[in-house]
Amino acid sequence: MDQPPPPPPPQPQAPPAPALLDISAALHLLPLIEFEPAYFAAPGRAAPESSTEADPAAWESYWRAALADAGIAGLTPLPGTFLVPAAHVTDPILTTLALRHLAAVCPGGAWTRATIDTFDLDRVAPLPGGYLIRSAAGDHLRPQTSGTLADLQTWADALHLPDGVTTVLAFGLPDLAARIAADHIHLTDTAGQYRFATTHTALAHAVTTARAQVESLRRRLAALLEHHTAPPLAHALADILVNAW
C-alpha cells in the first residue's frame, strides 16, 4: 500500500511587525552635520580595510585621527557614523569644515577674492548631514546615508497632508514615509522595521525647534565667512552650505 506523501516542510514565518511606538513626548529632530574623514586626513593616512560595521572602533579611531590632522578635536560622532550634532560644532570647527568644503569645489581660494556678482554659486553644494529622531523614550533613528539639513522641509510638508495620504520623507536610508491617521502622524519604513506615531502638535514643535537651530547655524556660519570674503557672498554661501529654505 502506497504511503501518503510527507507533509510539506513548514514555511518560514515573517517576523511580526513591531508595535507602534508613540514618540510624541519631547520629540526632537536633532540637526546633524557629517564630518567625512577623507576631507581632513593628512596625505598617507590610510583608512581601515574593514567596514565600519565590522570594526567600528577602528573607524572611529581613524575618524578622530583624520580630524586631528586638520586641528579638529573634541567631537564625538553618533555610534557607527561620521555624524555630529550641529550644536556641538564650535565656531573654529565650523570654520574649518566650511573652508575645507569650499576648497574642494573652488581650489586656490578663488571664492575669497570673488563677489556675489562674479562667483558661480552653483558650484557649491550643501554640507552633508541630516536629523536624528529623538524623544523622551530615547534615540530612535538616524540617517544611514547622508542628506542635507534642507531635508527638514519634507517633515514640515508632512504636517499638511490630507488624512490617509502617504508621503516619503527626505531622511536618507532607511526610507521613511509619513501618513496622517486621525489625530496622529504615522512614520514607517518600507521594510517594516520601524513604526512610530506622533501627534501633529509634537511634530510641529520638533520642526519649529529644528528650524530655529538650523537658522542659528546659518547666521553663525555667515558671520564666520565674513572674515574670508565680502558679506553678501558670505551670506549667500552660508545659505547654500546649510541649505537654508
Name the residue type at position 161: L
What backbone phi and psi angles, to 5 degrees, belong to 70?
Answer: -100, 10
pLDDT tens string 132-170: 999 999 999 988 887 899 899 999 999 998 888 889 898
Q: How confident is the model at residue 131 (pLDDT cuts 50, 70, 90)?
A: very high
pLDDT tens string 54-94: 999 999 999 999 999 999 999 999 988 999 999 999 999 99
pLDDT tens string 27-57: 999 999 999 999 899 999 999 999 888 999 9
Q: What is the pLDDT of residue 221?
A: 97
Residues 6+ apart with CB under 8 A from 229: 111, 112, 113, 114, 237
Q: Report whether pLDDT(10) > 70.
A: no
Strands in the chain per DSSP E: 21-22, 28-34, 83-85, 129-135, 138-141, 166-169, 176-181, 184-189, 195-199
Q: How confident is the model at residue 191 (pLDDT cuts 50, 70, 90)?
A: confident
Mean pLDDT within 202-211: 97
| Euclidean distance between CA atoms 127 and 146, whole angstroms | 10
In whole angstroms, what separates CA 187 from the centre of its chain?
17
Q: What is the pLDDT of residue 2?
A: 59
Range from 1-10, 75-84, 204-213 carrying the lowest mean pLDDT: 1-10
Spatial contact of 34 and 82, defined as CB atoms under 8 Å apart: yes
Q: Report whether pLDDT(15) > 70.
A: no
| Euclidean distance between CA atoms 57 and 61, whole angstroms | 6
Q: What is the pLDDT of residue 12?
A: 61
